[in-house]
Amino acid sequence: MHRNKLLIVDDDTILQEQLNWALKKDFEIVQCFDRETALNAARSERPDLVLLDLHLPPTHALNDGLSNIGAIRRANPDSIIIVMTGDEKADTPLHVIEAGAYDYFRKPVDIRELHLIINRAIERQRIERENVRLRREIENRYSFSQIIGYSELMIDVFTAIHRVADSNATVIVRGESGTGKELVARAIHYNSSRSSGPFIGVNCAALPENLIEAELFGHEKGAFTGAAGMVEGRFERADGGTLFLDEIGTLGLPLQSKLLRVLEDREVTRLGGKRTIKVDIRLITATNENLEEAIAQGRFREDLYYRINVVPIYLPPLRDRREDIPLLLDHFIRRFCDEHRVRQKHIDQEAINYLMDYQWKGNVRELENLIQRLVVMTDDEIIGASHLPPHILNQPSAYKPDSPGIAPESKPVIPESGMSLDQELARYEYELLRSALDRTSGVKTKAAELLGLNKDKMKYLCKKYHL
């Protein structure tokens, strides 16, 4: 069972023992006795709550105590701070709340009162985190924020999504496993007139042939052994919205025939039933197979192919859009540091070079899984080449991590196998922008001056690279 982490900051050792005894059953306790160790613990331990003595040594002054509240909030903005003190001044609670504390109570500590305050704070924190999660989920659903890329290939994908979203055309998303086909399907749905309706996804490859028919079409009570009641199928559940059939090439021929009839008639019949049910759906399919080859081999119906291949969108493999890798790295590192509540990490250029040269047979999903593992398992703030797994470090390399690249002060080295000039220029442009923004603490006008860019050009480049 998850226990919230509680940081207790007080120089009174007897009070520390009392609080630890009273609260250790419900909380993971971290104890500090002075300001500096408390700040370090706020950064490294990332506590959910902080019980903070307002008058810490060496000064025991009110102003220093108020300053400590702000310092802890900056060290870990997610912590809720509850202040405890023996100060009897009437205006002290107001100063404490204005400084950023959630609540305040006076010593001596009443454990029952403290429990009430803490429980109220935890509930508030739970609600705030849920609201943040829901806001982010909605933002992700109604934007392309999860589909990362500035390469020409991805710009073509974004353009296709925009053009097809508000139509009712049937779409097929094609690409290798791990390229993000479901993300594209969701982006189409949530940017369409059907966005208020359901998005129902089915991975056709994940279900056995004898189950997928009932899953798609539903069944009546007694339709087969174990059918204890009526169950709606995915077509019915998607009514008014979008049905996404992933890996459609794995469907057997009999089920392909039934799917074709649904697309022609816009109605379904549950297994064991006789009544037809009208369905208003938009169908989006996806596949990593060569359907044209499957047709030639007799594994896929040609008439169904023409029904679903109205608007094809091709998702390129990651190895064909390597210039997007730095953006993907930045996105995944930020996301997983946030999800796992660890201090923000960064990745150095040597590691980026190795990752840009890797073949990524698992595409974006493989990269995503690797970054999550590195964020969780790496203690250092900087992820370097030494943290990468051997199969990436030992690959035959076209980019030499210790080579000067295209730095203007050195002569560029072109690998024997050749290189992509556009890719190298884009990477160098991106790194220059990042360096300028880092040097100017993110102030884009100053960064533009450093790079000799006008306002419009800087705005365009920052949008292009999602900076």
CATH (residue range 152-316) = 3.40.50.300
Cβ burial, residue 250 (10 Å; 0-12/13-18/19+): buried
Residue 376's closest CA among 347, 325, 333?
333
Cβ burial, residue 296 (10 Å; 0-12/13-18/19+): exposed
Was domain 4-138 assigned CATH 3.40.50.300?
A: no
Cα separation, 369 vs 392, in Å, equals 14
For the chain, which ranges sit under pLDDT 70?
1, 131, 134-145, 396-417, 419, 422, 456
> Is the dihedral angle over the CA atoms 183, 184, 185, 187 positive or is it negative?
positive
CATH (residue range 320-464) = 1.10.8.60
Q: What is the pLDDT of residues 384-442, one digit of tens each?
A: 999 999 999 887 644 444 433 444 444 555 666 676 776 777 778 888 888 888 888 78
Structural domain boundaries in the chain:
4-138, 152-316, 320-464
Backbone angles phi, psi at 294, to 5 degrees: -65, -35
Polymer length of the chain: 467
Topology agreement, domain 4-138 and domain 152-316: yes
To the nearest 10 degrees (0 to 180), the angle between helices 421-439 and 444-451 is: 130
Residue 423's closest CA among 324, 317, 316?
324
Residue 155's closest CA among 324, 346, 349?
324
Q: What is the pLDDT of residues 88-143, one digit of tens each?
A: 788 888 888 888 898 888 888 888 888 888 988 888 888 877 767 765 665 555 45
How many angstroms from the chain centroid is the CA of residue 184?
A: 15
SS (H, E, C) 78-101: CCEEEEEECCCCCCHHHHHHHHCC
CB 51 within 8 A of CB 82: yes
Neighbours of 56 (CB within 10 A): 21
Residue whose token pair is 């896929």: 300
CB 215 within 8 A of CB 233: yes
- Check residue 355 and report its DSSP letter: H
Distances (CA, A) of 113 to 103, 110, 117, 416: 12, 5, 6, 73
Cβ neighbours of residue 77 closer than 8 Å, sequence gap 6 or more: none
Q: Report DSSP letters for 286-340, one per residue.
A: EESS-HHHHHHTTSS-HHHHHHH-SEEEEPPPGGG-GGGHHHHHHHHHHHHHHHT
Which SS3 state, helix, strand or coil, does residue 20 take?
helix
Which SS3 state, helix, strand or coil, does residue 458 take?
helix
pTM of the model: 0.57
Beta bridge partners of 104: 83
Specify the pLDDT at position 332.
93
Specify the pLDDT at position 141.
52
Cα separation, 400 vs 390, in Å, equals 16
